[in-house]
A = this chain, B = another copy of it.
Amino acid sequence: MLNTLIIGASGYTGAELAKMVHLHPHLHLAGLYVSAQSLDANKPISELHGQLKGIIDLPLQPLVDVAAVVESADIVLLATAHEVSHDLAPAFLAAGCQVFDLSGAFRVQGDSFYSDYYGFEHQHTHWLEQAVYGLAEWNSDAIKNAQLVAVPGCYPTASQLALKPLLEAGLIDKAQWPVINAVSGVSGAGRKATLTNSFCEVSLQAYGIFNHRHQPEIASHLDCEVIFTPHLGNFKRGILATITAKLLPGVGEEQVAAAMAKAYQHQDEPNAVRLLGGQAASIQNVVNTCFCDIGWLLQDQHIILTSAIDNLLKGASSQAIQCINIRNEFPALTALV
């Protein structure tokens, strides 16, 4: 049993992680932590997330001294804010822990990326360079040898899983930037009180047009410019990305289907992508699952892809567990299906 800590366990992804670690046959939930300043410190997690009552009633311990907790940890899950992850990860890494970071702190290489999009200068470029991007279906080999896995963002997961097979197969006309329209449930904004997320204010609406930090994350990992427009939707969880791209001349349905099958229908390792062919993906079918559903249709040299995930699971927590499984050579979907 690998001792597993969750730092930042008070939020929605933290609660999902706790449940999955608890049910995992090879992981032991060794501790839940929140910031020492948190008003939730010392409360049982089930007081914040009532659905866990009777299942996980562990307290949210204040993280006062990393050195004191690191001893007990084989694996550390960071479900913390970007800067907090940035600050905390090195100490856990130096102590030899495996670190799986759900924030954006180690996802993208590039000099000005963190100052431009996250508002801080990255101080740990050594670890940034070592970090493996945890898009589980694509980086399995690297994840197996990683000490630090940067679990991808929710929009990037839905977007890349759909586009990457076609880009890798050289089917997309990259000169005409793919258009990604995506709608996320409100839980993507985290567990906090804001007017924007208050029940009466939420309605379908685009935000972060042309300047959302997930745009460069997608573009850099796909090596392809994209136009990415996120939207807030009036539902609690799930993301649907609708992606329109131009195919290179002569590319037809067979090549697309073959590229998808090559990526996701192989015998190497179980994965969490379900191919729907001509059927459209829907949020309902993926919510509360670890899956990404992908459908596609072609016409007039264009392709429209639909890709759906649970933003808290394949877009965060279950993908982190999938990475843990791969890293530790458990079957990739252990405790997820």
User: By the criterion CB–CB under 8 Å, are B289 and A51 in contact?
Assistant: yes
**With A284-B51, A288-B288 as contacts: A191 and B200 at CB distance below 8 Å:** yes
User: By the criterion CB–CB under 8 Å, are B51 and A205 in contact?
Assistant: no
Residues from chain B with Cβ under 8 Å of A112 in the complex: none
Residues of A within 8 A of B (CB): 12, 50-51, 53-55, 176-177, 179, 181, 183, 185-187, 191-195, 197-207, 209-210, 227, 229, 231, 233-238, 240, 242, 244, 274, 280-289, 291, 293, 297-299, 302, 304, 306, 337
Q: Closest CB-CB distance, A77 to chain B, in whole Å? A: 21
In the assembly, what is the distance between CA of A81 and CA of B109, in Å?
51
User: By the criterion CB–CB under 8 Å, are A280 and B206 in contact?
Assistant: yes
Across the two chains, which residue of chain B brings its CB closest to A291? B54
User: By the criterion CB–CB under 8 Å, are A206 and B236 in contact?
Assistant: no
User: By the criterion CB–CB under 8 Å, are B206 and A306 in contact?
Assistant: yes
Q: Closest CB-CB distance, A253 to chain B, in whole Å? A: 12
**With A198-B197, A199-B234, A227-B304 as contacts: A51 and B206 at CB distance below 8 Å:** no
Candidates B54, B194, B200, B229; contact of A236 at CB < 8 Å: B200
Residues from chain B with Cβ under 8 Å of A238 in the complex: 203-204
User: By the criterion CB–CB under 8 Å, are B195 and A302 in contact?
Assistant: no
